[in-house]
Amino acid sequence: MTAINKVRALLTPVLLALCVTLGTVTYLQHERLTKLENHLEDTPSGNRYKRSVDYDLKKWKEEMISHLKPFIEDLVKSSVKNRNKQPKDCVTDPAGPAGEKGAKGDQGLPGPSRGCGKSRTNSLRAVDTACCERLSVPVIAGFLKQEITATAGQEQLLPCVPSVGYPYPIVTWNASVDITPEVVRGKDGLYIPHAAAHHEGIYTCTITNIFGTSSKEINLKVRGNVTINLIVPTQVYTQGTHAMALLDCEFTGVPKPKIDWQHLRPDGQLVTLTEGITTADNSSILTVNNPTFLDSGLYTCNATNRYESQSSIGVLEVTAPPIILTPPKNQSVIKGIDLTLHCIVISDPLANITWVFPDVSGHKPFNAFNNDDGSVTIKDVEQLNEGSYTCTATNRLGSVSASATLTVLEPVTASIAFPLQSLTNARFVALDCRASGDPTPDIKWDKIGAILDVTEARYIFLQNGDFIISSITKDTEEKDSGFYSCTADNSLSNATAYAIVYFDHGDIDCNTTFDKWNSGIGAAHGVMCPQGCLAMNNGDVYGSNPYSVNSPICSAALHNGVIDNSKGGLVLWYVIDGRSSIFSSTSSNGVSSLSSGPLFEGAMIVELGSGLYKFETSKVPVIG
């Protein structure tokens, strides 16, 4: 038997078994796809997927033929190769008949040789091994979930490559969007020649053979640069003469961008537009019906997708008569202040602004001045400025006017006729606060450095603003003394006057200190300092108002400035709680003070600004 015949005899049963196996695989795969095709014909969207299945059936048949033939050839080669590598197993022919006993005979003829090579059992084992090493469940190479961003207009591959699996698997594709005809199925995946917005979606690649299935999901996104161009009419519109103006915003981008419009009006307002907008394809048109001056200004078209945002601007010009944006306001002002009346105008073309003032002998008031921005400033307002003011704005298309009335009010004033009140021999004290103003102010009394006890029955507050301290005795003097304020207020202005009810200690020397007289918080005192205390060594001064109570009174008064060294004079003070006060060191008027920490008490000298030092002490009560 020749070597070829021997190989054929050896492989015939193996090939028969293999053909049965592969035939079964083929039948099952074909049945599976056929059932899927029949099922798709009965579904509403079956036509779209049926095309994909038909394609896969055809592709699968071609692949089975292309892969089955090399597999069989490889199997035959592998079997022959393994047989040649097997050690020779030679069997000799049977020996001839033995000679007769005791006699010598010739050796018998050799029997037919079996030949050398692998046994039948070893050959089948080699074939089975070669086959089984390649049969397996299919596996897709790489990640099974993938997001890919393609550039619009560029080619893009959606990779899906089986890494292992035999028989070679069937590859099918499904997508959340239509797989359009230009998309090509290849051995490496799905090829998109020119990526576009309609290709965006979820693509699922499934590979299947008789042993199992593997799937991969690809989320495809497509990105294209956003471009935008706003086209605004170049003509100048005139209010009341044009029916409409059209603004066209042309744009591109993948994904398709969202368009929004904004308008910066001539009055400064930024408005987001929602009406009169028509967007289709790659154009958004804004229609402005019967354009007015307030429709003029800066328009912005914004295009935005998930990747970027672009804007384009344009100016729409509408001419119109002037508009007074902020007219002058009716107002009441206090006499003596400086005042500016505004008349803010917007217009195209620009307007000229003029003012008409209250009639003052046929000309504008001497204290009124026109400003470059169209406003008017009145310096040190007087009663003659009271009246009606009218501003007029004019351009070639028309004019507009606005008026306001100015009322000049007298400021609030407050005064106390006898602000210095000594407690010496006093049975009561009357503090009369006279206040005026337009409108009539309210009057309120306070005690500085302490709380005024308004519940005290001896304290009488009259409706005309007078404050009377009655029934003064030695036991009440300390409580009744103090530094008092009368405040008049009508919400437009206010004024405050001061009075002091004090213990009058008369003349003192330069060395006398505040603590010579012990009194409670809020009590007030007064002394007369001699001249020339600056040249004497009077002791250390602590603080800068407040002062420590162990400081010399006259030196502190010189430091504060309420007396002159060459004259001396009246010094007034009241006692404060020094525990939260700052006693700082300063140099003033030839006196240097020292600093100190918080003290239980402090002496607060009444300042020159109180207006009290121009009065002489009155020891005569107003009443009684």
Which contiguous run of DSSP H or E holds residue 507? strand 494-507
Residue 64: its pLDDT value, please?
Answer: 59
CA 317 – CA 304 distance, rounded (Å): 27
Q: What is the largest CA-CA distance in the chain?
A: 191
Are 401 and 350 within one domain?
yes
Is residue 284 predicted with pLDDT exceeding 50? Answer: yes
Q: Tokens 């603080």 — which residue?
A: 543
- Is 73 part of any domain? yes
Residues 269 and 172 placed together within one structural domain of the fold? no
Residue 70: per-residue pLDDT: 58
pLDDT at 624 over 60: no
CA-CA distance, 375 to 391, in Å (whole number)?
9
Angle CA 196–198–201, to nearest 5 = 105
* Residue 128, in any domain of the structure: no
Cα 459 from Cα 468, distance rounded (Å) = 6
| Per-residue CA distances from 319 to 287, 349, 437 (Å) | 18, 6, 50
Indicate whether 248 and 329 sit together in one domain. Answer: no
Counting Cα atoms < 13 Å in the Cβ hemisphere of 591 gives 30
Q: 3-state DSSP: the chain helix, strand, coil percent, rounded to 5?
A: 20, 40, 40
Rounded Cα–Cα distance for residues 217 and 195 (Å): 18
| Nearest to 229, CA basis, from 248, 245, 256 | 248
Rounded Cα–Cα distance for residues 525 and 544 (Å) = 18
Are both 189 and 83 inside the same structural domain?
A: no
Chain Cα centroid distance, residue 18: 72
Looking at residues 500-505, what average pLDDT do you find? 97
Phi, psi of 489 (to 5 degrees): -145, 135
Which residue, among 280, 142, 151, 152, has the nearest Cα to 205 in the 3D structure? 142
pLDDT average, residue stretch 12-40: 52
At 273 the pLDDT is: 97
Query: Residue 164's closest CA among 140, 194, 195?
Result: 140
Whether the CB-CB separation of 528 and 509 falls below 8 Å is answered with no
Q: Are residues 588 and 532 in the same domain?
A: yes
Does residue 93 sit within a domain? Answer: no
Count the neighbouring beta carbons within 10 Å of the beta carbon of residue 408.
20
Q: Is the pLDDT confidence value at 594 over 60? A: yes
DSSP type of residue 608: G
Q: Determine the average pLDDT of the residues in 200-210.
A: 96
Do residues 253 and 283 lie in contact, with contact meaning Cβ atoms separated by under 8 Å? no
- CA distance linking residue 155 with residue 141, whole number of Å: 21
* pLDDT reported for residue 296: 96
- 284 forms beta bridges with 249, 279
Q: How many domains does the chain divide into?
A: 5
**Contact yes or no for 326/342 (Cβ under 8 A):** yes
**What are the residues whose beta carbons fall under 8 Å from the beta carbon of 116, sequence distance 6 or more?**
88, 89, 90
Of the pLDDT bands very low, low, confident and very high (cuts 50, 70, 90), residue 122 is low
**Mutual orientation of helices 120-132 and 3-41 as an angle, nearest 10°?**
30
Clarify whether residues 179 and 279 are in a common domain.
Answer: no
The angle, 0 to 180 degrees and rounded to 10, between the axes of the packed helices 46-85 and 3-41 is 170
| 179 and 220 Cβ atoms separated by less than 8 Å | no
Q: Which run of H or E residues covers position 67?
A: helix 46-85
492 lies in the same domain as 573? yes
**118 in any annotated domain:** no
* Residue recorded with tokens 């040190």: 380
What pLDDT shows up at residue 220? 97
What are the Cα distances from residue 134, in Å, to 16, 24, 82, 540?
Answer: 19, 17, 17, 112
148 falls within a domain: yes
Does any domain span residue 121? no
Q: Are residues 246 and 203 in the same domain?
A: no
- Lowest-confidence region among 53-57, 342-346, 382-386, 466-470: 53-57
Q: Cα–Cα distance between 199 and 186 in angstroms, integer?
A: 17
Residue 623 in domain: no
* Domain range enclosing 60: 3-87
Residue of 380, 291, 301, 297 whose CA lies nearest to 339 = 380
What the block records as the tokens of 263 is 């308008």
Would you mind telling me the total number of residues written for the chain in this entry?
624
- The enclosing domain of 549 has a CATH number of 2.170.130.20
| Phi and psi at residue 139, to the nearest 5° | -130, 135
Average predicted confidence (pLDDT) for the chain? 84
* For range 263-278, the mean pLDDT: 96
Pure H helices in 483-587: 553-560
Domain C-terminal end among 21, 53, 87: 87
Statement: residue 447 has pLDDT above 60: yes
CATH no. for residue 154?
2.60.40.10
Q: Look at residues 296, 316, 336 and tell me which one is the last residue of a structural domain.
A: 316
* Shared domain check, 557 and 515: yes
Q: Do residues 512 and 602 both lie within one domain?
A: yes
What is the token pair recorded at 539?
């002791």
Label residue 50 by pLDDT band (50, 70, 90). Answer: low
Cα–chain-centroid distance for residue 174? 43
pLDDT in tens, 137-161: 999 999 999 999 999 999 999 999 9
Could you tell me if 450 and 582 lie in one domain? yes
Return d(Cα 609, Cα 252) in angstroms, integer.
75
Q: Can you give 284-336 as a three-state secondary structure string?
A: EEEEEECCCHHHCEEEEEEEECCCCEEEEEEEECEEEEEEEEECCCCEEEECC
User: Which DSSP letter does residue 371 get?
Assistant: -
d(CA 287, CA 247): 7
The verdict on residue 490 lying in a domain is yes
d(CA 371, CA 402): 17
Is residue 86 very low, low, confident or very high in pLDDT (cuts 50, 70, 90)? very low
Name the pLDDT band for 250 (thresholds 50, 70, 90): very high
Q: What is d(CA 226, CA 365) in angstroms, rounded to the nearest whole number?
A: 62
* Weakest mean pLDDT among 228-242, 354-368, 418-432: 354-368
- Give 550-571 pLDDT, tens digit per residue: 999 999 999 999 999 999 999 9
Tokens standing for residue 551 = 């400081």
- Are the beta carbons of 584 and 541 closer than 8 angstroms? no
- CA pair distance 472, 427, nearest whole angstrom: 5
Higher pLDDT, residue 47 or 485: 485
Asked which of 52, 87, 122 is the last residue of a domain, the reply is 87
Q: Identity (one letter) of the amino acid at 88?
A: K
- Same domain assignment for residues 266 and 201: no
Q: Decide if pLDDT at 279 tops 50.
A: yes
- Here the tokens at position 74 are 């490889």
Q: Which of 145-159, 296-310, 526-540 is predicted with the least confidence, judged by mean pLDDT?
A: 526-540
Kindly provide the b/e burial profile for residues 96-122, where b requires at least 16 CB atoms within 10 angstroms of the residue's own CB. Answer: eeeeeeeeeeeeeeeeeeeeebbeeee
Q: Out of 107-111, 408-412, 483-487, pick the least confident.
A: 107-111
